[in-house]
Amino acid sequence: MSTKFLITRAFSVQLDKEDALASFRKEFLFPTFGKRTTYFCGHSLGLQPKKTKELMLTELNDWSTWAVEGHWKATNPWLTYHQSFAKPLSVLTGAYPDEVVAMNSLTANLHFMFASFYRPAGKKIKIITEAWNFPSDRYALESLVKLYGYDPKKVIIELKPAKKNTQLSTEEICACIEKNKSTVALVFFNGVNYYSGQAFDMAAITQAAHLAGAFAGFDLAHAIGNINLHLHDWKVDFAVWCSYKYLNGGPGAVGGAFVHQQHGHDKTTPRMAGWWGHDQNTRFNLEGGFKPLSGAAGFQVSNAPIMNMVGLKASLDLFMEAGWPAISKKRNTMFGYMLFLIKALCTNDHKKQFSIQIITPTLANTHGCMLSIRVHQQKGKELFDVLLKKGFMLDWREPDVIRIAPVPLYNTYQEVYSFVLELSKHAVLVEK
Ligand SMILES: Cc1ncc(COP(=O)(O)O)c(C=O)c1O
């Protein structure tokens, strides 16, 4: 793979020719919206793997053939269907297979994990989180502390960077944890912020939380299948995610959770229990007396939503075939290429209607594949509308940001080139 980028279209063609993952593009279905469109919205909803339909038909056929017996006799028996996710999810999260489980949905999993890992005691009742958390996470945190009778404004510390228009630094986060060490019970961040695309230093945040005697948990909605994760080695206590973004599981697909072995192997770890988390040897004795399975599986509550897992299965097969190191390498190259082109082409050589600023941190390990661009003009959404009209499916986040995610498994360098070329006709890059 070439390392020094050039601004010619021919160079983007060359990059595609050298792309070790190029063949995976044909494994996905691309929406056309009635005309040829470049899809850069994998951060919101990943594309459908072609295999999904076939796998879905298998389940529908097995259901009609076997009905209840499908739990044992289906092509992929439903009783154990969820277990096939342990291996690939462990690869993507840097975990042991027994530390991960596909279950529920993201915000539901947040509530389940908070029930286990928010254990206010004495003065230690506070939660440190980022101010620009996704709203669902904020609602979950607020409702959690209210359940304990606390005032969210007094108990939840929402951290903002000291300097306006900058990103939260690891130092600022760790200093805040240290400063509140006598009162903090839980530190909860995103792996990658949904708005800015900033990837947080989860190892450092976890270490600081533990030094302060608090648990550390992460929302990996924008991180899983996007950035390198080493949850076990980082000693993260818990994490949750959805599977409909970079994991291409389909709208509302089953979510997932990580519970560190330290807690997963401890049967006394508090939890909200249900029969699917119960010891599988005695699950069907249908008796009282909850005996948790060891590991993250012991945090399941309900039987597996098979139809909601099929898309994830199809996609994870592709992830495993492609191999995480190759995906991770292409993500960095594509991101670097897009950045290079924006800097090289969005210059002030003639009058342009919009000025843009990159708000995603660009140093290694501080971002995933998504780049967020702030548009300075009041009618900034018009830039988004122009790009959409030209066939680029991006997304607009109020009040002023366009998010663009070239996804290694299905996007091409030529798409990145065409996008930046179009962007450069309308926008000039400015520092602030
Ligand atoms: C960071 C983040 N957290 C939480 C959610 C909510 O997810 P769900 O509706 O699956 O609970 C989303 C959805 O996009 C998200 O991006």
Q: Is the CB of 112 under 6 A from ligand 1?
A: no
**232 in a domain, yes or no?**
yes
284, 319, 354 - which closes a domain: 319
315 and 351 both lie in a single domain: no
C-alpha of residue 136 to centroid of ligand 1, in Å? 6
Decide: 106 in ligand 1 pocket, CB within 6 A.
Answer: yes
218 contacts 236 by C-beta, under 8 angstroms: yes
pLDDT in tens, the chain (432 residues): 446 999 999 999 999 999 999 999 999 999 987 787 899 999 999 999 999 999 999 999 999 999 999 999 999 999 999 999 999 999 999 999 999 999 999 999 999 999 999 999 999 999 999 998 999 999 999 999 999 999 999 999 999 988 777 789 999 999 999 999 999 999 999 999 999 999 999 999 999 999 999 999 999 999 999 999 999 999 999 999 999 999 999 999 999 999 999 999 999 999 999 999 999 999 888 888 999 999 999 999 999 999 999 999 999 999 999 999 999 999 999 999 999 999 999 998 677 889 999 999 999 999 999 999 999 977 889 999 999 999 999 999 999 999 999 999 999 999 999 999 999 999 999 986
Domain co-membership, 370 together with 349:
yes
CA of 428 to the centre of ligand 1 (A): 32
Same domain, yes or no, for 217 and 344?
no
Please indicate, yes or no, if residue 43 is contained in any of the structural domains: no
Domain extent at residue 271:
56-319
Tokens 């230093």 -> residue: 201
> Is there a single domain that holds both residue 309 and residue 345?
no
CATH number at residue 62: 3.40.640.10
Alpha helix ranges (H) inside 36-186: 51-66, 70-73, 86-93, 106-117, 135-147, 152-155, 170-179
Domain-embedded: residue 324: no
Same domain, 338 and 199: no
Ligand 1 atom nearest to 252, measured from its CA: 10
Phi, psi (degrees; rounded to nearest 5) at 429: -80, 125
- 71: in domain: yes
Pair (313, 333) in one structural domain? no
Q: Which two tokens stand for residue 331?
A: 């993500």
Q: Is residue 48 part of a domain?
A: no
221 C-beta closer than 6 A to ligand 1:
yes
Whether residue 187 is found in the same domain as residue 311:
yes
Does the C-beta of 226 come closer than 6 Å to ligand 1?
no
Domain boundary among 319, 340, 373: 319
Mutate to test the pocket of ligand 1, among 111, 133, 134 (most ligand atoms within 8 A of CB): 134
Q: What is the pairing mode between strands 256-259 and 100-102?
A: antiparallel
109 CA: nearest ligand 1 atom: 11
Give kind and range of the element (H or E) at residue 423.
Answer: helix 413-426
Minimum-distance ligand 1 atom for the alpha carbon of 105 = 10
Question: Does 4 reside within a domain?
Answer: no
Q: Which of 262, 287, 319 is the last residue of a domain?
A: 319
CATH number of domain containing 16: 3.90.1150.10
218 lines ligand 1 (CB under 6 A): no
- Count of structural domains within the chain: 2
